[in-house]
Amino acid sequence: MAGKLTDLAIRNAKPRATKYTMSAGKGLTLLVMPDGAKYWRLRYKFGGRARWLSVGKPYPELTLREAEIEVLRLRALLDKGVDPADEKIEKKLAQNDRVANTFGEAAEAWHKFRSQAWNEKTSAQVRQYLDKDMLPRLRTRPLDSISPRELGDFVRGIEERQAFDVALKTRQWLKQIFSYARANGWTKNDPARDLAAIAAKGPGSQNYPHLSIDELPAFLRALETDQGSTLVKVCAMLALWTANRPGVTRTLRWSELNLDEATWTILKGRRGMKLGYQHLTPLPKQAVVALREVQKITGAFEYVFIGRNDPRQPLSDGAVAGMFKRIGYHGKQTMHGFRHLVSTALNELGYESDWVERQLAHGDPDKIRGTYNKAHYLEQRRKMMQAWADFLDPMRPTAATSERIAGSNL
């Protein structure tokens, strides 16, 4: 009965197929969810209209006695003509103002928010970056007072200890924290925007030679005006459009493609895929157009990019490397280097690092929480990679067309 609710009754309340309520009197109810969670709610009238308001934390974090005391306080507000919901909003705004005060508070709020989507490993890794480098240096600094020079000196100090990977991640996280703070209206400051422009080149970056964005137009002109095999050129462009691993791209099978849905599915255990992970790649429109034309040539075979001497085999390892040498980019760009180039470019263009990492097939998707499409950021990556392909088009002498590809040499 109303007003007779006890702690024992609450503890013994079992979840049902649908949510239900238990009355505690004075408009206070306990909402019991199918998953067993129990939430306090207050039903009241204000301005002649019935309203509901959540009360404090869920049970048992907020006990029955504490909830009853809170209801008395809220009803005292009603007696004064104050809507408890308005008070809750004011408290929220006040909290936002407090968070906006310093980098440390904004960084903590950002990490808490983003951790809802990250897996545990990513959340812990970012926590480590925050605690080891960023917060000790920037915790008490007002967001509006942090300058590009201050962040530049900070990241340069990380590079000076030869921690180039840490410096790269730090630049990415700083950019995201300020983006999050601006989106919440806590600051208009954007001191992390141009940090990539002064990034030092680490020794590890020489493993797979790759060009900078500024060098891409000349490279694409040389690539498209080359008189060699179109299959080799499309293979190279597909690696640039998707950032997939070179061995997987070179041995692409028609069975892996769904050109109507613009997807490329690499099944778990596929040879050439690091650690055998499954990977789903969205294809930009430019790639679909090129592949449909290649299909007219090699569609009857297993492989998309068939071998020169044996169409039953895929393109050889040295085919693309030979083309790069022929057009003057030997030692300057490799197929694998496209992955570094695309990763750097997308991060500099401001895309979420989680989307970029998933596009590069970094990390085991089987361990990522959530439903398939959400966990793999498919729609976000589709828009990102289409924007990337569109970004490349003006750099090319002529964007790939059906007529030009169909009339080219094998």
Which residues belong to the active site?
245, 268, 336, 339, 362, 372
CB contact at 8 A, 360 and 337:
no
The token pair that represents 144 in the structure block: 């509006």
CA distance 101 to 152: 21
Backbone angles phi, psi at 236, to 5 degrees: -65, -45
* Tokens describing residue 250: 């070179």
- Helix 335-348 to helix 230-242 angle, to the nearest 10 degrees? 40
Q: What's the CA dihedral at 36, 120, 126, 201 to 10 degrees?
A: -150
For residue 16, the one-letter residue type is: R
The length of the chain is 410
Is 319 in contact with 229 (CB distance < 8 Å)?
A: yes
**Residue 28's beta-bridge partner residues?**
25, 42
- CA-angle at 86, arms to 82 and 90, nearest 5°: 120
Closest CA to 339 of 206, 245, 199: 245
CA distances from 139 to 46, 150, 169 (A): 42, 13, 18
| CA–CA distance, 42 with 23 (Å, rounded to integer) | 10
Residue 239: name the closest of 219, 214, 225, 268 by CA.
219
Name the nearest CA neighbour of 378 among 248, 283, 252, 287.
283
DSSP assignment of 143-191, as one string?
Answer: GGG--HHHHHHHHHHHHHTT-HHHHHHHHHHHHHHHHHHHHTTS----T
